[in-house]
Amino acid sequence: MSDISLVITALGSILLLLILVMKVRMHAIVALIVVSIIAGLLSGMSPASIAQTIEKGMGGTLGFIAVVVALGAMFGKVMEETGALDRIAETLLARFGIKRANWAMAITGLICSMPLFFDVAVVLLIGLVHAVVRRGGGSMIKIGIALFAGIASCQAFLLPAPGPVLVASLLGADFGYVIFFGVLAAIPAMILAGPLFGSFIAKKVHVELPEYHRTEKEESVQKKGPSFGMALLMISLPLLLIGLKTVFSRFVPESSSSHQWLQFFGHPFIAITIACLVSFYFLAIPQGLSRNKVMQICSEALVPAGIIILVTGAGGVFKQILIDSGVGQALGDMLSDSGMPIVVLAFILSAAVRIIQGSATVAMLTSCGLIAPMLEGVNYSDIQLAAITIAIGAGSIVLSHVNDSGFWLANKYLVLTEKQTLQTWTVMETIIGVTGGVVASLIMLFL
């Protein structure tokens, strides 16, 4: 099948998916599976291989997401029920003021998500949005988009976030320059897409705080809740464990037992499990919740988490179909002969792969694989390589839509319709990506 036909098939599949979800009102899980099958058949995949790819896409996605979302949902629910999130929200509101609560959320997302995968950061921090809104800090859209913008800006540009580390390593970019230029890209991107755009779009799109986040805590819980220090320690615990692995494992020999233990405790699965256990026995029970009540809270937390898990898994199926069909490679071959400046090509290539198959990580990997050969024989400076790294990160998050797990996380956690998610989340991601692309181009042009 020709490259052009593959790209047309992918674009048509995305259009069909949007129609099924937004116009036909087919459930996202069913629509994603149906469109995945159609895309596989039209791209020339055999029926047997399509079935295998569906299994691979669902299993590969849920192998990580299911555990993280489930554990994170329980941890977040305990933090909410004990008043820990309310305590953090009250403190942030007191220090920043109600009118600037969205700035507090954006900064929190930018800093706290550095050592995390995007999905992990969202699951761990989304409870703060509900708590701030519940305490009068603004609308769900205004506060939620600010948090998402902080997280997304970090994930696209800042070390030691996994994506930028991966791209910098594959391209041989200097980590020092990547850190410096990453900050230059992340801060304006966060400001434009978070507090500024969030405040603007909140006037046009309004959603209510979910009912299950509006309920008052039971009388058995002390009204004063935990201290701000204790609440902050609890929400920071998994971040600290993962951060220790990210930072200190670089200075410890890989063959040593210390390195192995750092990798163990710093894995998101282990870090969030530890956070759950600590919150159960050092937060929930001291705050007056019985063990049976803690078990009930955890069970309740898994109900909304299950929907998120399944929709995300179905999105992984669509992504895997597009990968196995060869669309990413076909697109790279078409663009590599265009003669565009390398930094622009890196951005467009990464953006195109992202739009077609959904995953920012896959977009980064695919772009690196196609850009790296173009760098051979050309003496690009460390600054230029860092700019290319930023451009790839920027392109990898633009125009997020129905084939991206982040789209559905925002959709479910902010209680949005698909149209509202496109108006808010998709535009926010695009603002971040375009801002990063402009910064990368300016670096390449003037330095």
How many Å apart are CA 356 and CA 328, to the nearest integer?
8
Tens of pLDDT, residues 35-70 = 889 988 988 889 999 999 999 888 877 877 788 778
Lowest mean pLDDT among 136-150, 178-192, 384-398: 136-150
Q: What is the mean pLDDT of the chain?
A: 82
What pLDDT, on a 0 to 100 scale, did the predictor assign at position 171?
84
| Domain housing 217 | 3-446
What is the rounded average pLDDT of the residues 351-379?
Answer: 75
Tens of pLDDT, residues 290-349 = 888 888 988 888 876 777 777 777 777 877 887 788 765 676 566 666 677 889 988 998
Residue 424 is given by DSSP the state I
- Residue 224: other Cβ atoms inside 10 A: 9
Tens of pLDDT, residues 185-234 = 999 999 999 999 999 999 999 887 766 555 544 443 444 678 888 888 88
Q: Give the residue among 314, 331, 315 at the shortest CA–CA distance from 8.
A: 331
Tens of pLDDT, residues 87-112 = 877 787 778 887 788 998 998 888 87
Q: 443 by DSSP, 3-state: which?
A: helix
What confidence tier does 157 reach under pLDDT thresholds 50, 70, 90?
very high
What pLDDT, on a 0 to 100 scale, did the predictor assign at position 218?
41
What pLDDT, on a 0 to 100 scale, did the predictor assign at position 184?
94
Sign of CA dihedral 349, 60, 45, 409: negative
pTM given for the model: 0.69
How many Å apart are CA 21 and CA 27, to the nearest integer?
6
Q: Which residues contact 240 (CB under 8 A, 6 or more apart)?
A: none
* Better pLDDT: 286 or 347: 347
Domain count, the chain: 1
User: Among all chains, which residue has been given the structure tokens 């994603």?
Assistant: 32
Say if residues 64 and 116 touch (Cβ distance below 8 Å).
no
What is the rounded average pLDDT of the residues 1-27?
Answer: 79
**Residue 122: pLDDT above 70?**
yes
